[in-house]
Chain A
């Protein structure tokens, strides 16, 4: 069974892929349309920017969740911690 620690790490990696993918695509679009940016491209750039930020926010929430879960459950064994 996948460890809780690994699951959190995996989800964190997905956030990073979303952020990097969106960020790189955003900058590439900016560079390609440097001289004049059509309105629809501008909108696409803004959406990609939003996606980057959403990934960051999701990651922050994940970290909080991780703290809460780890305080109750051992992330390596999946068992409740003795209080």
Chain B
């Protein structure tokens, strides 16, 4: 039986060499490329089964290669692996892939995914299909009214240095069928102060990892003609700042969300639902609901 063919694409030779040896010993035929042009040549000349694709590459970047693979070689499985995670994730989400890994790579996890895709085919991510594996089902009742009739409606700003988290939350809150609300959502990890001024959110979901810069944050809020109704804190209790404690003591909601999202035992669904509930409570408090025409 012919060996399955894997192309490893990464601009770091150490990584391509290590993975080449490893997957070769695991019984695959391996090709490797350290720039986008070599990668394209191999894609065109070999009938590949799977590509391990880095995004930041010399000559031709991984986004262009991903587009080509999806358009012209849809049978080839693609695992995107990047340190640039969410900075590029929205773009690659729109193109589609079979698995997405944020570096640093853990070889055991990568092996399992490769075997799964090459043995069973896996579940390919179609363009614009969203990342959340199991979106919590919407609750139909809240605070005594049926949400189907009176949907919460607000402008949400998600502020986190963890792009994976902000992307995950944004994906959830933009889907009306998932969160049972109508939200204009913006996410910001690096430019939060600028975004607050531009976006004029009703509610800010703020990662506690950024609360250390709350002084600047507060000044920005004070300057706004229409400050947000409320800030909801979320994040890992282990990285809470002193300022966070003060805010929580003053009644600011805090939803725990661990740093390590690779831990599959963590109840992510419940956490997202708790955040959603906290958002809905703010909407109820300030009567932020969609009108019938919405």
Contact = CB atoms under 8 A, between A and B. Distances in A.
| Chain A interface size, under 10 / 10 to 19 / 20 to 34 / 35 or more | 20 to 34
A26 B190 CA distance: 36
A39 B160 CA distance: 44
Contact residues of A: prevailing secondary structure: helix
B63 to A, nearest CB: 16
A17 B22 contact: no
Contact of A24 (B21, B160, B216): B21
Interface string B1-28: 0000000000010110011011001000
Interface residues of B, number: 38
A83 B56 CA distance: 31
Interface of A: 9, 12-13, 15-21, 23-24, 26-28, 31, 52, 55-56, 59-60, 63-64, 66-68, 70-72, 75, 81, 83
B192 interface: yes
Contacts of A19: 103-107
Interface of B: 12, 14-15, 18-19, 21-22, 25, 56, 83-84, 103-108, 111, 160-163, 189-193, 209-210, 212-213, 216, 219-220, 239, 259-260, 262
B107 to A, nearest CB: 3
A83 B108 contact: no
